C-alpha cells in the first residue's frame, strides 16, 4: 500500500513539474504571468472525470461541499494544487526510522 501511495505522489509531482513548465513557457511567450487553473487543466485533460467527481462529491458530501472546497480548489494554479497533493501523499507514505537504529529489536 505504501508503494502505491508513493507512486501516486511521484506521479503528482511529475504532473506538477509539467504544469509549471507549461505555465512558464506560456508566460515567456506572452511577456506576462500566465497561470493555468487546476479546473481548466482538469477540464482539458479529462472532462468526464471532472463531471464524475462532481457528481460523486455532491451525492456523498452534499452540494455545499463541492462549492466550498472543490470550487475553491479548481481556481487555484494547477502546479500548486498538484505539488500540495504530492506532498500530502508523501507525508502519508512516510516511514519513520527507528531511533535506535536498523538493528534494534
Q: Report the C-alpha dihedral over residues 101, 1, 94, 78, rounded to 10 degrees.
A: 160
The pLDDT tens digits of the residues spanning 19-78 come to 999 999 999 999 999 999 999 999 998 889 989 988 998 889 888 888 888 888 889 999
Residue 86 placed within a domain: yes
Q: E strand or H helix at 52, and its extent?
A: helix 47-60
Q: Mapping DSSP to helix (H, G, I), strand (E, B) and coil, where does residue 54 land?
A: helix
- Mean pLDDT throughout 88-93? 94
Residue 99 placed within a domain: no
pLDDT for position 21: 96
Provide the whole-model pTM: 0.81
Least confident of 18-22, 82-86, 91-95: 91-95
CB atoms within 10 A of CB 86: 20
Q: Residue 39 sits in which domain range?
A: 2-93
Residue 104 placed within a domain: no
Number of domains composing the chain: 1
Residue 40 placed within a domain: yes
Amino acid at each position: 500500500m505504501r508503494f502505491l501511495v508513493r507512486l501516486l505522489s511521484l506521479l503528482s509531482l511529475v504532473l506538477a513539474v509539467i504544469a509549471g513548465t507549461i505555465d512558464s513557457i506560456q508566460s515567456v511567450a506572452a511577456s506576462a504571468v500566465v497561470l493555468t487553473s487546476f479546473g481548466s487543466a482538469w477540464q482539458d485533460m479529462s472532462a468526464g472525470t471532472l463531471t464524475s467527481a462532481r457528481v460523486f462529491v455532491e451525492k456523498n458530501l452534499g452540494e455545499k461541499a463541492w462549492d466550498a472546497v472543490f470550487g475553491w480548489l479548481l481556481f487555484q494554479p494547477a502546479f500548486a494544487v498538484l505539488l500540495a497533493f504530492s506532498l500530502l501523499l508523501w507525508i502519508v507514505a512516510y516511514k519513520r526510522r527507528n531511533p535506535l537504529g536498523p538493528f534494534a529489536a
